[in-house]
């Protein structure tokens, strides 16, 4: 396809793009995605993989989207079922102090009486290697500085096994966040095969730094850790799917998504209630305007993303046989704050098309197309060569609240969510309605 014809074709959608934006931002749908999110998270609360709450969340969204007049079905998936149980930690020397903790997903528990041991504080895996001879029988505290989530999260993910290799009995990991008011931040962690599994929890930035300073003074630090964590057999769950069928190529699909599960703290409003809601809202906006694209618009609300994209991987395995019919896969999982632009992964030719598509977002000032679509749930598709897109928002505060009790409706803004919904709907609709699929 000649680029000039493509840019003229895309420019022809300026009016419909403006209709979608007006409906979302100024019209009858104003504040709707925010209201839907508040109703959902206030009713269900948090919804960790394997929990009854997650089952209720799936039923809730199924019913809500059916009531909205969309084509909805559920696709089964098996998901991990880790339970936190009762947990606590206190420093007993050099002075008594309660430590705020959150056990990490998949962690084993301690014996019922807990583990009391001397602490070794390190700032990096490197330092742990140097001081390996000091680690046996100790609780290793990682006080790694926050560089970026992508880099620093390795300590949460692999800290337990790295410490176990040198004989540690447990690990406490400084929460992966740039900002703290003594808030622990949980998350999944991975035990390495063949390495002893030791209990692991995150502690606050403040407590990690406190113990680091004490250690620097040569003080002996002792901590008692008690965790009732356990892993139960895999649970039955579902990916939740809603569609507007395409009129010309119903077998071809533009997929929009967010994940429905969250951690077992806070409300999961930001991670990823917002992403799930704008992915539903986008379909509502298009349906409300009586629009029907050539291709099918499919919203998928993933299950068990937090455990490593578990529901999404099973969806991929089931549907990859139809790979050539997947036009674009989209995911919102970095917050629904003020939108800045669209992140995109695809061929140079596809990028040219997408650059034209985002120009249609001029009324809301988000015409930037950036490199690298990202998202745990869509990454299998992108790795297989399917074009992928993610929402880029002003996310500097995202990791302040991430995986903590602070992830509640209070961090969300209705106007920001309207803007995100408008962007999401315009991109999905236009790509689904163009003459040609995005070039691979």
Query: φ and ψ at 55, to 5 degrees?
Result: -60, -45
Compute CA distances 341 → 41, 255, 258, 391, 427, whole Å: 26, 18, 17, 7, 11
Q: Has 116 been annotated as catalytic? A: no
State both tokens at 146: 């926050």
d(CA 358, CA 365): 10
**271 with 395: CB under 8 angstroms?**
no
Reduce the secondary structure of 187-227 to three states and give it as a string. CECCCCCCCCCCCEEEECHHHHHHHHHHHHCCCCCEEEEEE
| φ and ψ at residue 392, rounded to 5 degrees | -105, 120
The two three-digit tokens of residue 177, written as one number: 């966040």
> 394, 252 in Cβ contact below 8 A?
no
Q: Are strands 87-93 and 222-227 parallel, antiparallel or unpaired?
A: antiparallel
Helix 14-25 to helix 274-288 angle (10° resolution) is 120
For residue 6, whether the previous peptide bond is cis, meaning omega lies within 30 degrees of 0, is no
Please report which residue ranges of 103-184 form alpha helices under DSSP H: 125-130, 149-165
Determine contact, residues 157/181, Cβ cutoff 8 Å: no
Q: Which of 108, 87, 47 is nearest to 203 (CA)?
A: 87
Neighbours of 67 (CB within 10 A): 9
- Within 13 Å and on the Cβ side, how many CA atoms surround 97? 15
**Number of Cβ within a 10 Å radius of residue 131:** 15
**Alpha carbon distance 197, 161 (integer Å):** 7
Instruction: Compute CA distances 394 → 265, 339, 366, 391, 416, whole Å.
Output: 23, 6, 12, 10, 10
- Phi, psi torsion values for 51, nearest 5 degrees: -85, 160
For residues 380, 336, 26, 39, the Cα torsion angle rounded to the nearest 10 degrees is 100
Cα–Cα distance, 90 to 93 (Å, whole number): 9
From the list 87, 162, 281, 305, the catalytic residue is 305
Phi-psi region of 114 (alpha: psi -120 to 50; beta: other; left: phi over 0): left
Active site residues per annotation:
305
């Amino acid at each position: 396809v000649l680029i000039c014809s493509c840019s003229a074709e895309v420019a022809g959608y300026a009016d419909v793009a403006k209709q979608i934006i007006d409906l979302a931002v100024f019209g009858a749908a104003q504040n709707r995605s925010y209201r839907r999110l508040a109703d959902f998270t206030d009713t269900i609360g948090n919804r960790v993989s394997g929990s009854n709450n997650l089952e209720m969340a799936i039923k809730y969204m199924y019913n809500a989207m059916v009531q909205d007049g969309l084509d909805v079905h559920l696709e089964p998936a098996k998901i991990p079922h880790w339970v936190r149980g009762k947990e606590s930690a206190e420093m007993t020397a050099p002075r008594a102090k309660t430590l705020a903790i959150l056990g990490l997903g998949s962690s084993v528990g301690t014996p019922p009486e807990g583990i009391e041991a001397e602490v070794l504080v390190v700032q990096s895996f490197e330092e742990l290697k140097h001081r390996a001879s000091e680690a046996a029988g100790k609780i290793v505290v990682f006080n790694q500085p926050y560089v970026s989530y992508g880099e620093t999260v390795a300590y949460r993910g692999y800290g337990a096994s790295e410490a176990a290799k040198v004989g540690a009995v447990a690990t406490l990991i400084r929460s992966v966040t740039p900002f703290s008011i003594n808030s622990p931040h949980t998350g999944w962690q991975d035990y390495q095969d063949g390495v002893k599994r030791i209990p692991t929890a995150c502690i606050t930035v403040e407590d990690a730094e406190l113990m680091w300073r004490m250690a620097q003074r040569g003080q002996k630090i002792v901590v008692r850790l008690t965790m009732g964590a356990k892993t139960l057999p895999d649970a039955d769950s579902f990916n939740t799917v809603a569609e507007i069928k395409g009129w010309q190529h119903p077998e071809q699909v533009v997929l929009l998504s967010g994940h429905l599960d969250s951690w077992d703290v806070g409300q999961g409003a930001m991670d990823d209630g917002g992403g799930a809601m704008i992915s539903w809202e986008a379909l509502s906006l298009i349906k409300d305007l009586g629009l029907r694209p050539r291709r099918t618009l499919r919203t998928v609300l993933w299950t068990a993303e937090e455990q490593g994209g578990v529901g999404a991987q099973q969806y991929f395995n089931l549907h990859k046989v139809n790979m050539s019919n997947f036009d674009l896969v989209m995911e919102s999982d970095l917050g629904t704050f003020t939108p800045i632009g669209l992140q995109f992964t695809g061929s140079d030719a596809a990028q040219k098309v997408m650059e034209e598509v985002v120009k249609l977002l001029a009324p809301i000032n988000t015409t930037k197309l950036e490199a690298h679509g990202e998202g745990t749930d869509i990454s299998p598709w992108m790795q297989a060569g399917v074009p992928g897109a993610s929402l880029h928002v002003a996310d500097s505060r995202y990791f302040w609240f991430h995986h903590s009790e602070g992830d509640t409706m209070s961090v969300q803004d209705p106007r920001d969510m309207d803007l995100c919904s408008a962007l999401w709907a315009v991109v999905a609709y236009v790509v689904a309605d163009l003459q040609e699929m995005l070039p691979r």
